[in-house]
Chains A and B, each alone.
Chain A
């Protein structure tokens, strides 16, 4: 079972803002960077947010990340149909000495 907890689903209409939470602990989010990945249906994951809030080249500025204490969030503003995907947070866990992914959130554009 994952040590990073995300809501199983989130949804919004085109143009809306959607926020996905990622809850961890002091040994992972609380002391290390958080990363976010987007996985479109049938494809490999893609790095969406690096080091809590950094967007890799090519990632639209509609996507933003934040971190506070032992929790992190991914926000998608101006939601578009192509944003329908699974989203995962991730971090290194110092206690477990392993990389951990969140449980994943399926975003649906209504």
Chain B
């Protein structure tokens, strides 16, 4: 069964850091691009960042560029999102999502259950 499992969410103070992980199973991880998508409480979906299957290409939303870093370890079938200089507006459920292709973000056909990140003092 194709599955994505996020972890690493929690409560962090403004200016703090957090690293999210997404462990994949049931498919050839390095053949597919991956993305992080977030959803603030009661709000719509916002794409955050994406990475190609090889890890050689990364993409970021302007709202997180310079603060967040996406990476992947294909030997561990794991996707990461390092989040620094966190702000209150980063509070959201963060989903990892599998792309149908190996390159730039396309259609996301598999989603994790999400992990909540709360930025508050």
Contacts and interface: CB of A to CB of B under 8 A. Distances in A.
B26 to A, nearest CB: 15
Contacts of A50: 100, 107, 109
A109 interface: no
B50 A35 contact: no
B105 interface: yes
Contacts of B60: 98
B108 A97 contact: no
A99 B50 contact: yes
Nearest to A35: B107
Contacts of B35: 99
B107 A44 contact: no
Contacts of B113: 44
A88 interface: yes
A35 B99 CA distance: 12
A20 to B, nearest CB: 14
Contacts, number: 59
B45 interface: yes
B111 A45 contact: yes
A2 interface: yes
B44 A99 contact: no
A62 interface: no
A45 B47 contact: no
A56 B106 CA distance: 14
B95 interface: yes
Contacts of A51: 107
Interface in A52-103: 56, 86, 88, 90, 92, 96-103
Nearest to A100: B47
Most chain B beta-carbon contacts within 10 A, residue among A88, A99, A103, A104 = A99
Contacts of B50: 99
A51 B46 CA distance: 19
11 contacts: A33-B106, A44-B95, A47-B107, A90-B45, A90-B47, A97-B59, A101-B37, A101-B44, A101-B47, A102-B44, A103-B44
Interface of B: 35, 37, 44-47, 50, 59-62, 95, 97, 100, 104-109, 111-114
